[in-house]
Chain A
C-alpha cells in the first residue's frame, strides 16, 4: 500500500479500524482530540460505534463493558484523563479483559500543560491504579510505529486478555509523517466462548460467563494474582521489543531513551560519530515488559564506561535502567519537561562532558 501523509492522532485512529476495532469511546482532551474527531466520521462508514462519554471515569467503564462482551474496543486520552481511567484499568486487568488505551502524554503533574512530555512512564509501567497489575505498554517513536503498535495492541490484548497501552506523547499526536498500514498486522478475533459475557445462547455449552474482580476468599484472590503474574512473566519471555542503535562499534557511552526523545538522541549520536565519538543507544519499544537483559548487555560491553538515560521528564525510566545495570556502570540522567525537548546540541554537550 502507498504511503499517506497523516497526523499522528488520525493515523492511530485509522490504525485501530485497520486492526478490526470499530468500537471507540472517549472524552475530549488536548492533545489527542483529533482521534475522536476522525473516528466520529470514519466509524459510521464501518458500521462501528462512536460515543463521547461524560467523563474519562465513565469512558473507562464503557470500555470495560464492551471488552467484557468480547468486542474489540479502544479509547484514547491524555495524562489527566488516563489518571481518571486508571480505576477502570485496574478492574479490566483484574477481570482479564482485552482493551486498548492510548495515552498521548502531556506535561504534568496536575493540569500541567498541553505540550509533549514523557512524565507518565511511572504511571504506565508501574500501575496507575490500585493493586498488583501491569499493562503491556508500547512506546512508539513516531507516527509509523504508532500505527504498527496500535494494530499489534489488539492482538496482544487478546493474547493476554488484558489492557494494552500505547504510550505516545503530544509530538506523535500532533506531527504529520508519511505512514502505511501493514495489512499483515490485522488478526482475526480470538475465540471468546469461555469468558465473554455476550449471552449464553452464543455458546454451545450454554454455560454462563462471569466477568468479575471481587474475590472475598483470600486463596481465590491470591490465585487470581498468581494467574496475572504468570501472564506478565510470559510477556517478559515473549513480547520484549527494543531497538539497538550504533551498538556494533566500541562505544564509550550508552544512551537509554524511549519514544520521540530517541529520535533526537539518534541525531546526536550521528553528529558525534562524525567527530569520531562513538555513542550507542538502547531504546525500549516495550517499556513493560522492559528489555532488562538487552540494557544490561549493552551497558556492560567492555568499551562502555557510562550510561545516561535521556527523557522528557524528571527521571523515570532511569530507575529501570539503574535496576538493570545492577551497579556495573555509572548511570546518570538528563531530562527536560513541560514541553521543552532536549536538543541534539545539548545532548552532545552532555556526552562530551562524560568522556
Chain B
C-alpha cells in the first residue's frame, strides 16, 4: 500500500522528519509561533490519518511482515533498508501517531521559548520512533533506536525543569550504555546467523546455548534500561520530572514501550532457550519492580514522580506478561503496553494542565480542585481509575490477562503481582484525595477549567480509555496471530505451535 505514491511505512517515517526540516526557516521569523504550532499539528494529524491506512490494508490473519519494503542500503556487510510490520508493531505505531498531536496541543501554552525548534525536535522524534517499530533490519533498527535519543536529549535539556541537565545527561548515558551492548550483540548475530542483519532471517537460526545466554544478556541490558526494569529504573523519575509535559508523555507512552517491544521482537524469538533459562530472573526483577515502584509511588510528594514510579510498577506487569510464554500473558502484556501508553500519557497531560496554571507539581499545594475545575477533575478521576485497574476501563483487561497468564505459569508469582494492583489503588486514590477532593483553599493562582487545546489533547484519550475497556477485542484480534506465532517460536512444544507451524 502506498500513500501519495510513497510506500506507506517510508512515508510514515519520513513525513514528520521532512516536515520538521521544512519548519527550519521559521526559526528566523518573528511572531511565527502560532503558525508553526498549527503546521506541526497539521503534520501529526496527517500522519495519524496515514497510519490508519495500515489498519485498513493490514491483514490480521497472518504473522508475516506486511507492507514490506527492502532495499540495499550500505553495500558493505549487507545492510538493508528493510521495513515491515506485524500486528504487534501495528498497534504500537498507531498509538504513537495518535499521541503526537496531543503532545503538540499540550505544548501550546506550556512551551514559550524556542517554539519552532521544539516542534522540529518533536517531529523528528516521531519519525525515529516509528522507524524503531517498523525497521526489520537490525542496523536500521539500531540507527533509529539511537537517533531517537538526540531529540529527546534536547527536549528534556532545553525545555525541561530546573534540574534538567542532570536528568537529561543521566537519561542519555544510561540508554547509550545499554544500547552499545545491543550493538555488539547485533554484530555477533551477523556472524553466527548467516551473514545477514535481516531480523526475520535471524529469528530462524539455531544458536548455541552459550551464545544465546550472552546475547540475551546484552539485549537485556539495552531493553531493561529502556523499560525500565528494577535496578535500571533510576533515570526514569529524574527524566520524567524534569521533562516538559510533551516529553514526559512521549517518554512514558512510547519510549518505555520500546524496551518491551525489544523483548518481544528480538529476545524471545531469537534466543528462546536463553529466554526460558532467564525466566526466573526476569520474574524476580519484574516483581520487585511492581512492588518497589508502587511503594515508591506512595511515598512521593511530586505528582510527576508519583506517576513515574507508577510506570515502573506497571511496566513490571508488561515484562512479567511477556515472560510467562502463554497467549494470555503476552497478549495481556501488549495490551498493557497500549493501555499504559494511553492512561499514563493522559495522566501526564493532566499534570501538565495543572502545572501550566500553578507551576507547582507538589501534592500539598493542591486540594479540592473539584470545586473550581469540575470538568478537569472528572477527567483526572477517570484516568486515575483507569490506572488503578477499575473494571470497565482499559487497564483492567491488560492487567487481568497478565495475572491470568502468571497464575497459569506460577501461582506464587501471580499472587505477588496481584499485590501490586492493590498498591496501585492505594497510590492513585492518595493522589486523588490530595488533589481533587478535600477542602479548596484559594491561592495566588487562578484555576480556570480546561481550555480548548487541553480539551483537544484529553478528550480523544478519554474515549479510547472507555472504548478499550469495553471492547478490548478490537485490539486483541489484531495481535492474536502474531502472538500465537511468537509463542510457537519460543516454545515449539506448546500445543499452539502446531497451529501456525513455526518457522
Q: Is B a genuine binding partner of A?
A: no
Interface residues of A (CB under 8 A from B): none
Interface residues of B (CB under 8 A from A): none
